[in-house]
Amino acid sequence: MRDKNGTITPVKILGIESSCDETAAAVVEDGFRLLSNVVATQIDIHAQYGGVVPEIAARSHIEAINPVIEKALRDAQCSWEDIDAIAVTYAPGLVGSLLVGTLAARTLAILHDKPLYPIHHVEAHVYANFITAQTETLEPQLQLPSKQPDFPMLALIVSGGHTQLVLFREHGDYELLGQTQDDAVGEAFDKVAKILGLPYPGGVSIDLTAPEGDPNRYALPKSKLASPYDFSFSGLKTAVLRAAQREVGKDFTFPSHELSGLLTAKQRKDFAASFQRVAVETLVDKAEAAFRAYQPSAVVIAGGVAASQRLRDELSARLPITIEYAPMKLCTDNAAMIATLGYYYAQKRAAADPYSLEVVPSISMAQTAWATGR
Ligand code: KG4
Ligand code: ZN
């Protein structure tokens, strides 16, 4: 940012995220330099119920939000004077959860007279890949990419709520190429883990269990869809359930929640490995088809399932391009990605009115490109 004397000073953005079950705040400088990254997770609380309970999530955000924001400022060694703008997740997510972060951001923007930028959570996941190691960061052990991805950029976004392929021509100028027609891939990981009796969150459990199993033990189907870039994971999940019911000698009416007790440890590992192989292959097949059709300069993966080592290995093996992956820690929900996207958004868009910014629980990236210029 250039002041009235022409001096260039770095731009520091405070990001705030509370769309699901993590309360997070972070400070990012100039759209790439990570100054702080605080995440208060509720995983332990929701694990007792086997999934996120919206009312409990909202209540936990209320307890955590102020200390998390204060810690993010402290860790970044920033006072409010140092912060140039606030970026907050306004969509999509659980309504009660989104409200907590958005109301905190609105209040702070008014109180400290800062511009406020509304950020789309799913789009922001992609921006974990824009946090780089161009200078030293607060956590030297974080393996950050050496440089930012080039445009045009193909993004495979794989989270608990979304599975989509998006082609970015520039910041804010993107096209949704395809998406899941039913379950998101992370949701399929979570549901299959539940069938197998593995702990929540299922993606992590399957990632840990699968390497001990035989990925070819069970023949599971890949869905066939009219569009080459669309996905479907509900059939795969059901195929695991049916195969598991058969394996323990029960018919299809046998309840899924009673299955895990009858499976042996070996069967559990083989199911985890076979499911993971087909899920990852499906993602990579589609990403490869989009890569061949659009010839992007960079490919990134984003969202919680991007933390899967098997997905990373298989994508790198199949695509004729070097991919620098974001650290696992920045793939799952965090506010650093919100602050990073906020930096680019602020260059092209006016700030929101802090007195009236509303949350939007459901809005697709097919509707949210903000700098198309066409
Ligand atoms: O992006 P995220 O943190 O939250 C949403 O915005 O949805 O994604 C959460 C999803 C969960 O379904 C979780 O099971 C999955 O990411 N996940 C993984 C791994 N770590 C988290 N899936 C596969 N492998 C992993 N290592
Ligand atoms: Zn997310």
Q: Is the peptide bond before 201 cis (omega within 30 degrees of 0)?
A: yes
Domains defined for the chain, CATH in brackets: 12-149+330-372 (3.30.420.40), 153-323 (3.30.420.40)
Q: Which ligand is nearest to the CA of 335?
A: 2
Whole-angstrom Cα distance, residue 187 to residue 275? 13
- How remote is the CA of residue 31 from the centroid of ligand 1, in Å? 24
Q: How far is CA 53 from CA 45, 199, 358, in A?
A: 9, 16, 22
In eight-state DSSP terms, residue 231 is B
Whole-angstrom Cα distance, residue 195 to residue 177? 31
Q: What is the pLDDT of residues 195-221, one digit of tens each?
A: 999 998 899 999 999 999 999 999 999
Q: Best substitution site from 120, 179, 192, 204 to test ligand 1's pocket, by max atoms within 8 Å of Cβ? A: 204
Beta strand extents in 12-162 (DSSP E only): 12-17, 22-29, 33-41, 85-91, 116-120, 153-158
Task: Provide the token pair at 330.
Answer: 């920045």
**Ligand 1 atom with minimal separation from the 185 CA:** 12
Look up tokens 């204060």; give the residue: 70
Kindly give the pairing relationship between strand 116-120 and strand 85-91.
Answer: parallel
Q: Which ligand is nearest to the CA of 302?
A: 1
Q: What is the pLDDT of residues 221-259, one digit of tens each?
A: 998 898 999 999 999 999 999 999 999 999 999 999 999
**Ligand 1 atom with minimal separation from the 93 CA:** 6
Q: What is the pLDDT of residues 64-88, one digit of tens each?
A: 999 999 999 999 999 999 999 999 9
In terms of Cβ atoms closer than 10 Å to its own Cβ (0-12, 13-18, 19+), residue 253 is exposed
What's the Rg (C-alpha) of the chain? 21
pTM (whole model) above 0.85: yes
Helix (H) or strand (E) holding 189: helix 185-196
Q: Best substitution site from 305, 311, 338 to test ligand 1's pocket, by max atoms within 8 Å of Cβ? A: 305
Q: Which residues does a 6 A CB cutoff place in the pocket of ligand 1?
A: 20, 159-161, 186, 189-190, 201-204, 207, 303-305, 307-308, 332-333
- How remote is the CA of residue 203 from the centroid of ligand 1, in Å? 6
Among 36-50, 139-153, 350-364, where is mean pLDDT lowest?
36-50
Q: Which ligand is nearest to the CA of 162?
A: 1
Whole-angstrom Cα distance, residue 224 to residue 286? 11
- Return the closest-CA partner of residue 118 out of 371, 367, 358, 301: 358
Measuring from atom 26 of ligand 1, which residue has the nearest CA?
308
